[in-house]
Structure 1
Amino acid sequence: MDEFEQKGDEVPGAAVTTGALARRLGVSPTTLRSWDRRYGIGPAVRADGRHRRWTPRDVLMVETMCRLASSGVPPAEAARHARQSAGGLPDGTAPPAPAGRPVRARASHAAGALPLGNVRQECRGLARAAVRLDAPAVGERLAAAVEQHGIVIAWQEVMVPTLHAVGRKWASSGDRYIEVEHLLSWHVSTTLRRVASPDAPEALAAAGPVMLACVPGEQHTLAIEALNAGLNELRLPTRMFGAAVPAEALTAAVRRLGPSAVVLWAQARSAATPVLARQVADTRWGVKGARRQPLVMLAGPGWAGRPAPGMSRPTGLKDALDTLASVYGAVAP
Structure 2
Amino acid sequence: MGVFQLVALVTRGKDVEVDEDLTVAAVARRLGIAPATLRTWDRRYGLGPSQHETGRHRKYSSGDLAKLTFMRRLIVSGVAPAHAAEQAKTHKGELGLAKLIQRAGKKRSNEDLVSSLFTAAYALDSQYLDTAIADYLKRSGVVATWQEILVPLLNQIGAEWEETENGVEVEHLVSEIVKRHFLSVAFQKAITARPVLLAAVHEEQHCLALYALRAALNERGIPAHFLGPRTPLVAITGLVKKVAPPAIFLWALLPENADPRFIRNIPAVRPAPRIIIGGPGWDLKKCKDAVFAPDLASACEEIEQAIGA
Instruction: Give the structure-1-normalised TM-score.
Output: 0.65
**2:179 match:** 189
Q: Are the aligned partners of 1:267 and 1:302 in contact in 2 as well (CA < 8 Å)?
A: yes
CA distance in 2, matches of 1:81, 1:308: 53
Higher relative contact order (CA 8 A, sep 6+): 2
CA distance in 2, matches of 1:180, 1:215: 25
Per the alignment, do residues 81 and 292 of structure 1 end up closer, same or farther by CA in structure 2, a change over 3 Å counting?
closer
Per the alignment, do residues 261 and 230 of structure 1 end up closer, same or farther by CA in structure 2, a change over 3 Å counting?
same
Q: Could you tell me how far 1:273 is from its partner in structure 2?
A: 1.4
Alignment pair present for 1:144 and 2:135: yes
**2:62 match:** none
Alignment pair present for 1:258 and 2:244: yes
Q: Are the aligned partners of 1:130 and 1:138 in contact in 2 as well (CA < 8 Å)?
A: yes
Q: Could you tell me how far 1:304 is from its partner in structure 2?
A: 3.8
**2:207 match:** 221
Q: Could you tell me how far 1:270 is from its partner in structure 2?
A: 1.6
Secondary structure in 1 aligned to 2:291?
A: coil
CA distance in 1, matches of 2:149, 2:232: 32
CA distance in 2, matches of 1:127, 1:35: 24
Corresponding letter in the other structure for 1:303: W
Alignment pair present for 1:34 and 2:24: no
CA distance in 2, matches of 1:161, 1:66: 27
Instruction: Give the structure-2-normalised TM-score.
Output: 0.69
Q: Are the aligned partners of 1:199 and 1:237 in contact in 2 as well (CA < 8 Å)?
A: no
Q: Are the aligned partners of 1:264 and 1:299 in contact in 2 as well (CA < 8 Å)?
A: yes
Give the greater-gyration-radius structure (CA).
1
Write the mapping of 1:136-285 to structure 2, written as runs, cut at 5 A: 136-174=127-165, 176-201=166-191, 204-205=192-193, 208-280=194-266, 283-285=267-269
Alignment pair present for 1:82 and 2:38: yes
Q: Which ranges of structure 2 fall in alignment gaps of 5 or more residues? A: 1-9, 48-78, 85-108
Q: Could you tell me how far 1:319 is from its partner in structure 2?
A: 1.0
Write the mapping of 1:76-155 to structure 2, written as runs, cut at 5 A: 78=35, 82=38, 85-87=41-43, 89=45, 105-106=80-81, 120-155=111-146
Per the alignment, do residues 265 and 31 of structure 1 end up closer, same or farther by CA in structure 2, a change over 3 Å counting?
farther
Cα deviation, 1:137-194, whole Å, max 9, x if unaligned, reads 21111111111111111001111111111111122222x3111111001111111111
CA distance in 2, matches of 1:158, 1:323: 23
* Number of corresponding residues: 244
Q: Which has the higher helix share?
A: 2
CA distance in 1, matches of 2:284, 2:268: 27
**1:310 match:** 289
Cα deviation, 1:13-39, whole Å, max 9, x if unaligned, reads xxxxxxxxxxxxxxx844796268865
Cα deviation, 1:185-206, whole Å, max 9, x if unaligned, reads 11111111111124514xx11x
Q: Which ranges of structure 1 fall in alignment gaps of 5 or more residues? A: 1-27, 42-60, 92-103, 109-117, 286-290
Q: Could you tell me how far 1:215 is from its partner in structure 2?
A: 0.8
Select 2:32's aligned residue among 70, 92, 95. Answer: 70
